[in-house]
């Protein structure tokens, strides 16, 4: 049995990984613990010590260790953390990571337009998010490469599901459901998908996940079966009276300013006419629809918030409709993770590994670290009074207290008692250079990453001293 050493998070995340050898699992836990406090895109920056660096490269380049084993370990750990909850929101979204590969030696695939020549990995992930907005962990993930050359121009509609990237969405949904049925059978997943999820194979996979919930933002003005004739989804929704109103907090994003958006809400029960263009088969799918449209708060130059949401959650009251909106709004959490993974903390695209499988394993490790960073950030905001020990190891807490006492302000008093998670995260950010003056907002991923670098280094020294004292 592998013993828990160092980071509590790393042991919980990877301590039960099935890699064929306990020494490999121990190496994975050690790598996770180091990356937790010192994430970096380059292996040499994350593991500056020669022995650790050699061990990390050996792990990543070991062909007997596959990326699916890392995803399985993290996914099982996430489901176990969710087991006490009645439901969790599960945003599912894709992104890509671009890597330097001028000669194609890394066997990476095309990213973006083929004419641009960028190469990298496509990534589709499902994460769990508590209702209070705190990320829990990675549920499932697929990494793949697109063909390096442009495929034939055969009509996309004539390809089977297995020939399209749609099948990755279906596989991730099914993997998440299977994982929760095994590790958290009383917890329901409430999947949250953006417009890319509005495809009949994905809607069918979500419908087939009996006992679980989903919300998908509509991308198409789909055909709707009515009593005597066909209609369209937006035509039907426009005929419905306004059900109520709500304020939705919109975070800053690409081409999107942060704001409090005022939306009107309409709801309906509809029967969609799904159609497989390849086989020309039609079949009905009965769902609820919640339409939220922004009125009067859209910044100049931007499009108003317009969410046409398909869901299997009951919508019998305004409270039901607001819960659907609440869940979809938390889909943005996965975008935050992508940003932390690629730019603000982990810098995954700086990786210089030489093989696709090694890059994939490294990317997955850093993805879990990005999730952990986002979890710390949101725990401090949503449940600041919890003890710091819910996320930080004893050595990390001791190191944090020592460092904070050394650098505290004259007006600050650092108690000997266990700090709250809110205090601990603020102190970590302080150590990372956070002043609160630039934005006035709570600490973000960059200052938390810098602070954790220092806390982790101090925790390693304290751990070494304790181990040395025990051996004397």
Mean pLDDT of 141-148: 90
What pTM, to 2 d.p., does this model score?
0.92
pLDDT at 5: 42
> Does the structure show a pLDDT above 70 at 452?
yes
CB 387 within 8 A of CB 418: yes
CB 263 within 8 A of CB 293: yes
- Label residue 250 by pLDDT band (50, 70, 90): confident
Who has greater pLDDT, 225 or 147?
A: 225
- Label residue 183 by pLDDT band (50, 70, 90): very high
Quote the tokens at residue 237.
């929704």
> Does the structure show a pLDDT above 70 at 96?
yes
Domain borders along the chain are 67-344, 383-471
> How are beta strands 188-193 and 213-217 bridged, if at all?
parallel
Instruction: Look over the chain and give the mean of its residue pLDDT values, rounded to a whole number.
Output: 91
Q: Domain spanning 67-344: which CATH class is it, in words?
A: alpha beta
Mean pLDDT of 260-289: 94
> Does the structure show a pLDDT above 60 at 439?
no
pLDDT at 2: 41
pLDDT tens readout for residues 101-125 = 777 777 888 888 877 788 899 999 9
> Does the structure show a pLDDT above 80 at 398?
yes
pLDDT at 438: 55
Mean pLDDT of 12-24: 96
pLDDT at 256: 84
Mean pLDDT of 43-67: 95
> How many Å apart are CA 47 and CA 63, to the nearest integer?
21
Q: Backbone phi, then psi, for 332, in 5-degree steps?
A: -65, -20
CB 88 within 8 A of CB 187: yes
- Label residue 6 by pLDDT band (50, 70, 90): very low
pLDDT at 7: 65
Q: Backbone phi, then psi, for 419, in 5-degree steps?
A: -75, 160
- Label residue 154 by pLDDT band (50, 70, 90): low
Mean pLDDT of 25-29: 96
pLDDT at 153: 61
> How many Å apart are CA 301 and CA 278, to the nearest integer?
39
pLDDT tens readout for residues 194-212 = 999 999 999 999 999 999 9
- Label residue 156 by pLDDT band (50, 70, 90): low
CB 362 within 8 A of CB 113: no
Q: Domain spanning 383-471: which CATH class is it, in words?
A: mainly alpha
pLDDT tens readout for residues 126-143 = 999 999 999 999 999 999
pLDDT tens readout for residues 406-436 = 888 878 888 888 999 999 999 999 999 988 7
Which residues, in sequence order, are bridge partners of residue 89?
A: 129, 190
Mean pLDDT of 148-155: 67
pLDDT at 3: 40
> How many Å apart are CA 34 and CA 449, to the nearest integer?
12
């Amino acid at each position: 049995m592998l013993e828990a050493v160092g980071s509590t998070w790393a042991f919980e995340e990877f301590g039960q990984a099935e890699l064929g050898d306990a020494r490999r699992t121990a190496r994975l836990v050690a790598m996770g613990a180091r990356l937790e406090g010192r994430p970096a895109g380059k292996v040499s920056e994350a593991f500056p010590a020669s022995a650790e660096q050699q061990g990390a490269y050996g792990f990543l380049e070991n062909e007997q260790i596959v990326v699916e084993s890392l995803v399985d370990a993290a996914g099982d750990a996430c489901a176990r953390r969710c087991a006490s909850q009645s439901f969790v929101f599960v945003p599912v979204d894709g992104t890509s990571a671009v890597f330097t590969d001028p000669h194609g030696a890394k066997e990476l695939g095309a990213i973006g337009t083929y004419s641009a020549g960028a190469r990298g990995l496509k990534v589709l992930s499902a994460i769990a998010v508590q209702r209070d907005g705190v990320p829990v962990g990675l549920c499932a993930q697929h990494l793949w490469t697109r063909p390096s050359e442009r495929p034939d121009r055969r009509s996309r509609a004539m390809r089977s599901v297995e020939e399209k990237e749609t099948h990755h969405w279906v596989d991730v949904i099914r993997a998440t459901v299977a994982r929760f049925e095994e590790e958290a059978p009383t917890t329901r997943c409430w999947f949250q998908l953006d417009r890319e999820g509005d495809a009949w194979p994905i809607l069918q996979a979500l419908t087939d996940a009996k006992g679980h919930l989903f919300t998908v933002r509509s991308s198409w003005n789909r055909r709707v079966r009515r009593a005597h004739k066909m209609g369209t989804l937006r035509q039907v929704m426009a005929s419905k009276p306004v059900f109520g109103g709500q304020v939705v907090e919109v975070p800053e994003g690409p081409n999107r300013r942060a704001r409090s958006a005022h939306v009107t809400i309409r709801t309906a029960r509809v029967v969609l006419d799904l159609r497989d263009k390849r086989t020309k088969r039609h079949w009905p799918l009965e769902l609820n629809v919640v339409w939220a449209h922004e009125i009067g708060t859209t910044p100049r130059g931007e499009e108003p918030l317009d969410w046409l949401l398909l869901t299997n959650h009951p919508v019998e009251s305004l409270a039901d409709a607001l819960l659907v909106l609440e869940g979809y709004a938390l889909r943005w959490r996965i975008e935050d993770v992508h940003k932390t993974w690629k730019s603000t903390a982990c810098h995954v695209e700086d990786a210089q590994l030489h093989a696709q499988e090694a890059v994939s394993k490294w990317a997955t490790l850093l993805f879990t670290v990005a999730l952990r960073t986002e979890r710390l950030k949101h725990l401090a905001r949503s449940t600041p009074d919890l003890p710091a020990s819910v996320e930080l190891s004893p050595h990390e807490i001791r190191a944090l207290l020592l460092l904070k006492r050394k650098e505290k302000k004259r007006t600050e008093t650092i108690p000997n008692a266990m700090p709250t998670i809110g205090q601990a995260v603020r102190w970590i950010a302080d150590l990372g250079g956070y002043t609160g003056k630039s934005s006035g907002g709570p600490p973000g991923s960059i200052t938390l990453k810098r602070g954790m670098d220092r806390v982790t280094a101090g925790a390693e020294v304290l751990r070494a001293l304790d181990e040395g004292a025990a051996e004397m």
